[in-house]
C-alpha cells in the first residue's frame, strides 16, 4: 500500500469513528430520563377530555383531573413529552367519591401521535374505597414521544378522578 492510500485510509477511519461517537452521544442525550415531577410539568404538553388535566401533574394529591362526560365513557389524555424518552414505569393516582369505584385504564405510546402501540389495555382496578396509586411497570421499556392514557369508570355513574400521574 502506498503512502497516500494509507493516509486516506487513516482519515476515513478517523471520520468514521467520529461519526459513530457523535451518534452514540446523540442517542444518550436524546434518551435521557424524564426529570422530577416539577420538571416534567414544565416540559410536558397535555391535551384530552375532562377538566383540570394539569392537576394530574401538580404534585398535589388534593387536586385531580376529573371527568365531565357521561360516566362509563372513556376519557383520554395525550401527554407530549416533547422528545423521545425511554419509559418503563407509569403511576396513576386514583381518587374516590362517596361510593366505591372501579376504573378501567388503557395506556398507549407513539412517536407521532398518529400510530399508537398498546402498553396496557383495559386493566380494571377492582372496586376501591380509598385513594390508590396504581403502578404500571410490567411492560417492556418504550421509546416514546407521546403517551395516551384512557380511563373510564366501570359499572357506576360516578366520574373518574386522577390525582397524580408520574412517568419514568
Binding residues vs Ca ion (CB under 5 A): 55, 58, 60, 63, 163-164
Residue 94 CB, shortest distance to Ca ion, in Å, is 12
In this complex, which beta carbon is closest to Ca ion, that of residue 75 or of residue 142?
75
Distance CA 163, CA 70 (A): 19
Q: 117: closest CA among 79, 82, 152, 143?
A: 143
d(CA 133, CA 117): 23
Please give the radius of gyration of the chain, using alpha carbons only, rounded to the nearest integer: 22
Question: What is the smallest separation between the CB atom of 109 and Ca ion, expressed in angstroms?
Answer: 23
Q: Which is nearer to Ca ion, 87 or 164 (CB)?
A: 164
For the bound state, the minimum distance from the C-beta of residue 38 to Ca ion, rounded and expressed in Å, comes to 12
Q: Which is nearer to Ca ion, 84 or 96 (CB)?
A: 96
**Least distance CB 104 / Ca ion (angstroms):** 21
| 103 contacts 124 by C-beta, under 8 angstroms | yes
Tell me 67's DSSP state. -
Q: How far apart are CA 111 and CA 85, in angstroms?
A: 10
Output the residue with the shortest Cβ distance to Ca ion: 63
Nearer to Ca ion, 66 or 144 (CB): 66
Amino acid at each position: 500500500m502506498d503512502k497516500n492510500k494509507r493516509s486516506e485510509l487513516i482519515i476515513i477511519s478517523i471520520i468514521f469513528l467520529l461519526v459513530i461517537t457523535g451518534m452514540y452521544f446523540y442517542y444518550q442525550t436524546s434518551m435521557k430520563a424524564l426529570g422530577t415531577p416539577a420538571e416534567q410539568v414544565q416540559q410536558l404538553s397535555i391535551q384530552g377530555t375532562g377538566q383540570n388535566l394539569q392537576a394530574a401533574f401538580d404534585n398535589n394529591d388534593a387536586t385531580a383531573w376529573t371527568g365531565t362526560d357521561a360516566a362509563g365513557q372513556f376519557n383520554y389524555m395525550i401527554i407530549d413529552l416533547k422528545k423521545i424518552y425511554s419509559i418503563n414505569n407509569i403511576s396513576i393516582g386514583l381518587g374516590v367519591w362517596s361510593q366505591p369505584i372501579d376504573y378501567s385504564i388503557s395506556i398507549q405510546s407513539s412517536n407521532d401521535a398518529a400510530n399508537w402501540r398498546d402498553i396496557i389495555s383495559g386493566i380494571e382496578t377492582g372496586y376501591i374505597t380509598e385513594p390508590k396509586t396504581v403502578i404500571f411497570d410490567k411492560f417492556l421499556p418504550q421509546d416514546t414521544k407521546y403517551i395516551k392514557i384512557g380511563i373510564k369508570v366501570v359499572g357506576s355513574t360516578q366520574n373518574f378522578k386522577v390525582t397524580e400521574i408520574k412517568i419514568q
